Amino acid sequence: MNRPAVRRRRATDLDGCVAALAEVHRVDGYPLNWPADPHRWLREPHPARAWVAVDADAAVVGHVAVHRIPDQVDGPPGRPTAEVARLFVVPKARGLALGSALLDRARQWADKRATDLVLELAAGGTAAAALYERAGWRCVGTSTAPWAAPDGSPVSLRHYTLRHRAPGSDVAPASTARRRASRPAASRSSGGSSTSIS
């Protein structure tokens, strides 16, 4: 597969996003609980920005969104923070560094706004954990999700953060795309089925 392009999500992409999400859910169990209204799940809470990866046939093969996290009403003003959510790449497009490219878009968006990023990952999301840690995210703690797995069992969440980088401090690692160009797509498993709604 030629490397798909990453661009901002448009309203007309939502059907394609839901189709891609359905495939990821079937193969990887992400999200752990299939949303009652997947279009709405991708649209809400109203994302500050969302991006898609689209292939040569204009099919959506990847997605990510960032959601602003408001300051606590009665708390002191904190650093601006946003959550990275709804990150997925369809199985046939994996291994092309699309997950990294989507995550990079979120990071660039945050860096321009001096915004820290956070995200939650359900225990067992091996591929996603490797992706985040490789991209410099730090696991800062764990908790039990306020929602349960489909079988009713509790779900453990790992919390990751990525502090915003000051302008000029952008030390880009060797291009993941270049490193990965010779690797066939879908050459790895996604790392399990326990990633959650996040």
Q: Which residues bind ligand COA (CB under 6 A)?
A: 24, 28, 30, 87-89, 94-100, 121, 125-128, 130-131, 134, 176, 179-180, 188-191, 195, 198
CB of 76 to ligand COA, least distance (A): 29
58 phi and psi angles, rounded to 5 deg:
65, 20
Q: Is 143 helix (H, G, I), strand (E, B) or coil?
A: strand
Looking at the Cβ atoms of 71 and 175, the one nearer to ligand COA is 175
Give a three-class secondary structure readout of 38-91: HHHHHHCCCCCEEEEEECCCCCEEEEEEEEEECCCCCCCCCCCEEEEEEEEECH
Q: How near is the Cβ of 102 to ligand COA at its closest, in Å?
A: 7
191 - beta bridge partners?
none
- Taking the complex as a whole, the smallest distance from the CB of residue 42 to ligand COA amounts, in Å, to 13
**Shortest distance, position 198 Cβ to ligand COA, whole Å:** 4
Chain residue at closest Cβ approach to ligand COA: 99
Burial category of 167 from C-beta neighbours within 10 Å (exposed 0-12, middle 13-18, buried 19 and up): exposed
Nearer to ligand COA, 13 or 28 (CB): 28
Using the minimum distance from each CB to ligand COA, give the nearer residue, 116 or 193. Answer: 193
CB nearer ligand COA, residue 150 or residue 168: 150
- Token output for 167: 């302008």
- The Cα 152–Cα 56 span in angstroms is 41
Q: Report the nearest approach of ligand COA to the CB of residue 75 (Å).
A: 26
Question: Which residue is listed with tokens 């000051």?
Answer: 166
Which is closer to ligand COA, CB of 14 or CB of 97? 97
